[in-house]
Amino acid sequence: MVRFEMLTVTLLLASGTLLLACLPLARAGEIVQLEPVGPTSAVIESDLAEELRQRAVNVGVEQLRSAQARYQPANLHVLPRATKDTTTMVDLTHTLEQDLVDAQGTIHYPAGFTFNPLRYVSLSGALVVIDGSDSEQVSWFKGSPYGANHRVLLLLSGGLAATLRDELVRPVVYLTEDIAQRLQLRAVPSIVVEQDSQLVIREVSLGRPR
């Protein structure tokens, strides 16, 4: 056992109280093993690599959510605001420019075949197209009979679909170039319904923007 000389140290606390403590002082060259004083607890160190990896995952998830919230397709078709109420009929009859074949090369429909897709698939609800960045058009949709009808598909020619999905609690999709051209859309808001195997396109004027 190592013998220690006792050194009395006087400590002066901030409160003015005198405290006497006896501290062991080892001789030079001796190794002193200090005993723990008071309650002890294990120190648990987190794995630094795992912590950094988790932070990266969290940052990645937030960046993904942010990107999804701001997403717009490159082929988004922007339409002007309607200046007057109009109604037009659109015939979707289409003629194939080349043979329609399957994976084995069998021709199902030859070039020149003419058909109207509405004779095979019906538009059961309606399509409503608005500019989601125009608050007046959004308010118009909410107050229209279409706003409460979930058979109606809402398409955006502007604005953010993610924002309106949350606001309206309904599916919202973007109007792309190919769809706009096929439906011959010219302005928004537009309402598209089927009638006698044709499409009726009704543009609604909301007046001058406020």
**pLDDT band, residue 156 (cuts 50/70/90):** very high
Distance CA 133, CA 30 (A): 80
Does pLDDT of 9 surpass 50?
Answer: no
Residue type for 178, please?
Answer: D
Query: Domain-by-domain residue ranges, the chain?
Result: 86-203
**pLDDT band, residue 180 (cuts 50/70/90):** very high
- The mean per-residue pLDDT over the stretch 176-193 comes to 96
DSSP 83: S
Does pLDDT of 16 surpass 50?
Answer: no
DSSP 195: E
Q: Is the peptide bond before 73 cis (omega within 30 degrees of 0)?
A: no
Q: pLDDT digit string (tens) for 79-106? A: 999 999 999 999 999 999 999 999 999 9
Does pLDDT of 19 surpass 50?
Answer: no
Distance CA 167, CA 40 (A): 54
What is residue 70's predicted lDDT score, i.e. its pLDDT? Answer: 80
What is residue 31's predicted lDDT score, i.e. its pLDDT? Answer: 52
**pLDDT band, residue 63 (cuts 50/70/90):** confident
Residue type for 165, please?
Answer: R
